[in-house]
Amino acid sequence: MLVQRVLMPGGGRESWTLLGDDGEVVEPAERYLAYLAAIERSPNTVRAYAVSLKLWFEFLQVAGTRWDEAGVEDVARFVAWLRAPAANVIVLADGRGARRPATVNWYLAGVFGFYFSTVAESAGVSRGWLYRQDQIRDLINRQRALKPPAARRLTAQRATTDSLPAARCRPR
């Protein structure tokens, strides 16, 4: 599989697509990547998502699973596949996985976005509505961060000089 740079007709805007081993466009991925380009996501973002989908479709090909039949177990195996070093690499005792957790999470974000969009499309839900929901959730979270904490009920207790720290006690 190959992630291929393309220029959009009309304005020459850069985008990316995914080609299969036969050189043909991988149609399910293309629909999602075209959507990202249409809503003017950065070409770098579209490229990163194309790479995520390339790895996902390569994994599914090795696993012998169709993209529309993949499940949670396949995602777990995909994570392990991403973290495993190449077959020709000898791992030392203190060796690490091929990719760091943040990189694996980025690839998963691309795959989950693809399925999120595909499910919405098949259910007849507007993708724009789904992305607006994300924006609304972000706005609510920002508002929660700005909101002062709830008032706590305080009970008054008479302080004695014995209960106060020495530095605060001043003679009158």
The answer as to whether 169 is a domain residue is no
| Predicted confidence (pLDDT) per residue in 131-146, tens digit | 555 555 565 566 566 6
Q: Is residue 43 part of a domain?
A: yes
pLDDT tens digit sequence for 47-106: 999 999 999 999 999 999 999 999 889 999 999 889 887 666 666 666 666 788 888 999
Residue numbers of the domain that contains 113: 2-87+96-145
What tokens does 25 get?
Answer: 């466009």
What are the structure tokens assigned to 133, written together? 């929901």
Residue in this structure with the two tokens 């507007």, named with its chain if needed: 126
Nearest alpha carbon to residue 1 among 40, 39, 36, 53? 53
Whole-structure pTM value: 0.68
Decide if 70 is inside a domain. Answer: yes
With respect to residue 170, please indicate whether it lies within any of the assigned structural domains: no
- Is 160 within a domain? no
In a domain, 171, yes or no: no
Position 124 in a domain: yes
pLDDT class for 168, splitting at 50, 70, 90? very low
Structure tokens at 39: 């809503």
Total domains in the chain come to 1
